[in-house]
């Protein structure tokens, strides 16, 4: 019989969390400012979190048991309260946008800010902008972006909705010529939006089609919110896994709806009163709004991944399981290589996505400013970059959130973990703003175009194709790559960048030689190209950590995290690295895998500090497994006590169903016994 004293596992969790925080030497405020773009940004965010978390309108209690209709109404009430707070506290629109990003569910208002308003501001002509710009800015009208149709989504050129110009009345007639032309998946269109920006095929006199263009249209009356004449619209129903429940993704059909000439978004492409077409300076300018949304999705991926990995690492730190040691304690789950080897690379990707997202947003802002003056020189680069990063960030983060959830074992399947909600809210990102498989093709087309234009000795290639410099320089691929020192990786990660750039260059060269690109090859090539691009950016981040305000001691830890990112990227690329001889044989593969494992182990003592640096409050995470104090079992118990099914000691289902089933079974058993005696 064991003489070890019985342990209180629930109390031990708090002790383990405190010990984990004491074990890390990283300075949380320094890293927090680094991740949030400076102390001012963090402090403003923290102030807004404090306001929202204390306001009953944003209480999350019981929402897991609400119906879709209840969640939609709750979302509308939150939207109203946000605007009331803006009036009461003098919030700027940036504060309002920040509050929306802090909430962990997508509200219809989000689509106004993320799609409708930026597209309008980027594309509207002076007259239309003067008339509606102020109303859009103050939410005097609420908007949506109507692009996807029932039968067409990413293939914008194939959209069926038409906008036919009538030079007699100087109007466009918007029309949905078939059921499949119905606009579908339009966020906020179902019940909320009053106006929208519509992608429709421009048709001029004689039936001449000029391709998809943007038009501004009123959907509902500002008097009573009823649909305008000829506009048929509604909510399309619940989404998979209960995701986006507060948002009214809807359908819209136009039955010969007439709008004035000025309602064409005509900053670039135009139609004269006589019906003559004025071409834009660049044929992709109409997609500027989509590029804006994509540019923000890397940051979104970072935030969603950061939440999931914070929950998973906190739980893995306090969850004990296995053979007890001499102290009578089972090992902490985070100590197992099979666990930290899955979780620490996810943590590294969260850091990379958050930092990368900030630079991408800056690139879009620069491009938008140039477009306003007619300069389209950065548009192709932005398109290639955002397409690749959108695919990479969303595909990776969706998988990472699910990996984080599964690392929590059975408790990860509970809604109380909070990770199922994260997954449901983020998984559609793989298809909206461009289906990832289709975008892979666009990335490959851009890569092949850059390859064909490559000249020997070319210098100054743009970042999206900088990996081709390896071929331009005329050097031969390295014949084998041995990882011998973790210190060398943390101080100068460029060897891994070289490895991933050579892989991308060789994949693209092979595709060019093949002459035909299959879907699977496109996905492989797009990933290789994007891996090379991101790896170069990560090397830059590693060199500039201290310049970005991180103290010297913490910079070492952050560089180790970035080194893990590069190592994990190389490990995921092993098939290509072996095929092209960039790694040779089992020894080099084993060395790479050892480096991954060693780096993960080195980061385990800092894992809680690195996740604390994201700055999430308990209210933001809304997770029993991710509570700051580590008392996960008490949090799970408390949530179970609030389950509505537990309000009555005997459920109503007993009298309605359970009792009959029991009595029926008892009767049949008695009959079987009697028959057996005969």
Residues designated catalytic: 433
Query: Mapping DSSP to helix (H, G, I), strand (E, B) and coil, where does residue 650 land?
Result: coil
Q: Which two tokens stand for residue 207?
A: 């039936």
Comparing CA positions, the residue from 149, 140, 141 lying closest to residue 201 is 149
User: Which one-letter DSSP state was computed for residue 614?
Assistant: T
Backbone angles phi, psi at 259, to 5 degrees: -130, 150
Report the length, in residues, of the chain. Answer: 678
Query: Mapping DSSP to helix (H, G, I), strand (E, B) and coil, where does residue 239 land?
Result: coil
Comparing CA positions, the residue from 433, 365, 424, 340 lying closest to residue 393 is 433
566 close to 535: Cβ distance less than 8 angstroms: yes
What is the torsional sign of CA 192, 196, 200, 206? positive
288 close to 122: Cβ distance less than 8 angstroms: yes
Measure the CA–CA gap between 389 and 434, rounded to whole angstroms.
12
What is the DSSP secondary-structure string of 507-556? HHHHHHHH----HHHHHHHHHHHHHHHHHHHHHHHHHHTTTTT--HHHHH
Q: CB under 8 Å to 492, separation ≥6 — which residues?
A: none
643 close to 435: Cβ distance less than 8 angstroms: no
361 close to 41: Cβ distance less than 8 angstroms: no
User: Which one-letter DSSP state was computed for residue 574?
Assistant: H
Comparing CA positions, the residue from 14, 24, 19 lying closest to residue 347 is 24
428 close to 304: Cβ distance less than 8 angstroms: no
What is the DSSP secondary-structure string of 441-476? HHHHHHHHHHHHT--TT-----GGGGGGHHHHTTPP
Measure the CA–CA gap between 234 and 251, rounded to whole angstroms.
6
Measure the CA–CA gap between 189 and 157, rounded to whole angstroms.
22
Measure the CA–CA gap between 110 and 97, rounded to whole angstroms.
8
For residue 391, the Cα-to-chain-centroid distance in whole angstroms is 10
95 close to 128: Cβ distance less than 8 angstroms: no
Q: CB under 8 Å to 535, separation ≥6 — which residues?
A: 496, 497, 500, 501, 566, 569
311 close to 635: Cβ distance less than 8 angstroms: no
Comparing CA positions, the residue from 199, 160, 127, 170 lying closest to residue 276 is 170
């Amino acid at each position: 019989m064991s003489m070890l004293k019985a342990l209180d596992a629930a109390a031990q969790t708090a002790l383990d969390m405190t010990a984990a925080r004491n074990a890390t030497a990283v300075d949380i405020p320094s890293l927090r400012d680094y991740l949030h773009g400076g102390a001012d940004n963090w402090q403003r965010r923290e102030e807004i979190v404090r306001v929202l978390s204390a306001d009953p309108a944003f209480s999350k209690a019981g929402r897991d048991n609400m119906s879709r209709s209840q969640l939609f109404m709750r979302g509308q009430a939150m939207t109203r309260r946000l605007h009331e707070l803006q009036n009461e506290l003098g919030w700027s629109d940036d504060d309002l946008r920040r509050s929306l990003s802090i909430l962990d569910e997508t509200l219809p208002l989000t689509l106004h800010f993320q799609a409708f308003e930026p597209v309008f501001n980027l594309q509207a002509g002076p007259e239309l902008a003067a008339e509606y710009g102020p109303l859009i800015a103050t939410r005097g009208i609420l908007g949506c972006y109507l692009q996807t149709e029932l039968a067409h989504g990413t293939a914008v050129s194939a959209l069926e909705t038409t906008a036919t110009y009538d030079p007699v009345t100087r109007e466009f007639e918007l029309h949905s010529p078939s059921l499949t032309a119905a606009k579908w998946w339009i966020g906020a269109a179902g019940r909320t939006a009053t106006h929208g920006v519509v992608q429709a095929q421009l048709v001029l006199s004689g039936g001449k089609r000029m391709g998809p263009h943007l038009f501004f249209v009123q959907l509902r009356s500002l008097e009573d919110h009823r649909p305008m004449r000829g506009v048929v619209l509604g909510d399309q129903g619940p989404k998979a896994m209960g995701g986006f429940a507060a948002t009214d993704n809807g359908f819209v059909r136009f039955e010969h709806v007439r709008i004035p000439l000025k309602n064409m978004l005509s900053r670039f492409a135009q139609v004269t009163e006589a019906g003559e077409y004025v071409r834009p300076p660049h044929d992709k300018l109409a997609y500027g709004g989509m590029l804006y949304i994509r540019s923000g999705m890397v940051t979104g991926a970072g935030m969603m991944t950061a939440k999931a990995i914070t929950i998973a690492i906190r739980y893995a730190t306090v969850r004990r399981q296995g053979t007890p040691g001499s102290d009578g304690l089972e090992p902490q789950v985070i100590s197992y290589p099979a666990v930290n080897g899955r979780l620490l690379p996810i943590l590294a990707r969260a850091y990379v996505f958050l930092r990368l997202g900030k630079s991408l947003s800056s690139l879009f802002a620069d491009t938008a400013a140039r477009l306003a003056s007619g300069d389209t020189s950065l548009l192709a680069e932005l398109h290639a970059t955002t397409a690749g990063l959108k695919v990479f960030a969303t595909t990776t983060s969706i998988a990472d959130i699910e990996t984080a959830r599964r690392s929590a074992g059975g408790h990860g399947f509970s809604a109380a973990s909070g990770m199922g909600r994260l997954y449901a809210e983020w998984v559609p990102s793989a298809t909206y703003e461009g289906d990832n498989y289709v975008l892979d093709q666009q990335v490959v087309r851009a890569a092949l175009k850059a390859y064909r234009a490559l000249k020997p000795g070319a210098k100054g290639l743009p970042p999206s194709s900088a990996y081709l410099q390896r071929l331009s320089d005329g050097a031969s691929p390295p014949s084998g790559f041995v990882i011998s020192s973790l210190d060398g990786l943390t101080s100068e990660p460029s060897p891994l960048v070289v490895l991933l750039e050579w892989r991308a260059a060789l994949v693209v060269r092979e595709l060019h030689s093949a002459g035909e690109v299959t879907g699977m090859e496109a996905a492989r090539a797009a990933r290789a190209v994007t891996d090379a691009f991101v790896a170069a950016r990560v090397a830059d981040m590693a060199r500039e950590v201290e310049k970005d305000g991180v103290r010297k001691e913490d910079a070492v830890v952050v560089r180790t995290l970035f080194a893990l990112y590069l190592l994990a990227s190389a490990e995921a690329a092993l098939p290509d690295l072996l095929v092209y001889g960039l790694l040779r044989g089992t020894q080099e593969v084993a060395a790479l895998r050892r480096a991954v494992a060693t780096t993960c182990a080195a980061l385990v003592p800092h894992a809680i500090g690195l996740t604390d640096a994201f700055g999430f409050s308990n209210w933001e995470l809304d997770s029993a497994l991710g509570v700051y104090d580590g008392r996960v079992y008490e949090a799970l118990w408390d949530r179970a006590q609030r389950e509505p099914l537990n309000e009555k000691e005997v459920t109503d289902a007993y009298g309605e169903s359970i009792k009959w089933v029991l009595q029926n079974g008892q009767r049949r058993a008695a009959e079987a016994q009697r028959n057996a005696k005969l």
